[in-house]
């Protein structure tokens, strides 16, 4: 698979990574056996960037990756293991409550992730969100101490604004910023944020590049979402928005068919064509979807096809916000 470098200060990774969250939480019932087989296939196909977080299943996703790594220790070399800290769960509701990016919390959070992952270092360590009451300089300074100690190799941030990114990078080189980016969500990246990333040599790691599977065409109604699937709570999948959004997916499907690929492959190939400094991490726990996603790295769309995809989903045309209100409040500081 093609390789890309995570900015001017980061490691080389496969051009398409693997988001692991859905293996443990959010999208229906977990299937650890299939998830482990999917991770095996990812390694066989040359996927080197694996993305998780301590918040995914309250550590369960890190533990899953740790169990896989314990059986595949020979593959640790060359693997870029990324995880995140900062989201703490409310004991009463079980949902994410506070954002803790204080300097005091950074080291214990990292040590806990290292134990769950069963590894002696984390390749890319992100602050998952930012608490606006904590100076970013304080957070990144504590993260930089982890690099000095050898616990972490490279640093990243997730869902921050361009001003925050500049201030963080002045404290210690930031290799990657993780942002939602897809045909459905373009305003988060395109414009000032992408300009700042290119100026500073910071990669964009694009999560939810398939619009939480809506862009694959596999979701045709809310009945396709299992009970307990988080998407049932997310505005773009709400009854009043879903019908409109599915008409946009149909337009993407038409362009993909003309290009000789699936809608998911077209959506990923479109992201890859936006610049070498962008690496999508589509998530899946199933081998068949992984193979389909990874093959998008071999698809080269013409300028006309890329433009057709943009026109199929005009910027701002998607109905509904990308997160519920409470989660939106934690974004973009």
Q: How far apart are CA 109 and CA 171, in angstroms?
A: 20
Q: Which residues contact 128 (CB under 8 A, 6 or more apart)?
A: 53, 55, 84, 85, 86, 87, 99, 158, 159
* Angle at the Cα of 187 from the Cα atoms of 82 and 258, rounded to 5 degrees: 90
Which neighbouring-strand residues pair with 3? 14
Q: How far apart are the first and last CA of the chain?
A: 35
Question: Helices 287-294 and 32-44 sit at what angle, rounded to 10 degrees?
Answer: 30
**Of the candidates 310, 275, 266, the residue with the CA atom closest to the CA atom of residue 15:** 275
Of these residues, 27, 56, 125, 207, which one is catalytic? 56
User: Cβ–Cβ contacts within 10 Å for residue 131, how many?
Assistant: 18
Confirm whether 126 is a catalytic residue: no
User: Cβ–Cβ contacts within 10 Å for residue 303, how many?
Assistant: 8
Q: How far apart are CA 124 and CA 111, in angstroms?
A: 14
Active site residues: 56
């Amino acid at each position: 698979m093609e390789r890309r470098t995570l900015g001017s200060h980061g490691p080389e990774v496969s051009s398409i990574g693997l988001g692991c969250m859905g293996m443990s939480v959010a999208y229906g019932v977990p299937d650890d056996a299939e998830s482990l087989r999917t991770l095996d296939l990812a390694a066989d196909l040359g996927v080197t960037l694996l993305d998780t977080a301590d918040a995914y299943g309250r550590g369960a996703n890190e533990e899953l990756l740790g169990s896989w790594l314990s059986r595949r220790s020979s593959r640790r070399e060359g693997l870029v293991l990324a995880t995140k800290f900062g989201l703490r769960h409310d004991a009463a509701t079980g949902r994410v409550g506070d954002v803790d990016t204080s300097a005091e919390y950074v080291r214990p959070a990292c040590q806990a992730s290292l134990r769950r992952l069963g590894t002696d270092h984390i390749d890319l360590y992100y602050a998952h969100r930012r608490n606006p009451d904590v100076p970013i300089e304080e957070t990144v300074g504590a993260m930089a101490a982890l690099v000095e100690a050898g616990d972490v190799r490279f640093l990243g941030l997730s869902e921050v604004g361009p001003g925050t990114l500049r201030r963080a990078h002045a404290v210690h080189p930031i290799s990657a910023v993780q942002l939602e980016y897809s045909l459905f969500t373009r305003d988060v990246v395109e414009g000032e944020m992408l300009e700042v990333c290119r100026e500073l040599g910071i990669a964009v790691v694009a999560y939810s590049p398939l619009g939480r599977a809506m862009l694959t065409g596999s979701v045709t109604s809310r009945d396709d979402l299992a009970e307990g699937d988080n998407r049932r709570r997310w505005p773009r999948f709400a009854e009043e928005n879903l019908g409109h959004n599915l008409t946009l997916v149909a337009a993407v499907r038409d362009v993909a068919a003309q290009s000789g690929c699936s809608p998911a492959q077209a959506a990923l190939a479109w992201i890859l064509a936006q610049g070498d400094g962008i690496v999508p991490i589509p998530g899946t726990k199933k081998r068949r979807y992984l193979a389909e996603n990874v093959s998008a790295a071999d698809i080269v769309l013409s300028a006309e096809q890329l433009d057709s995809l943009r026109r199929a989903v005009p910027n701002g045309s998607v109905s509904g916000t990308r997160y519920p209100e409470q989660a939106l409040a934690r974004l973009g500081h």
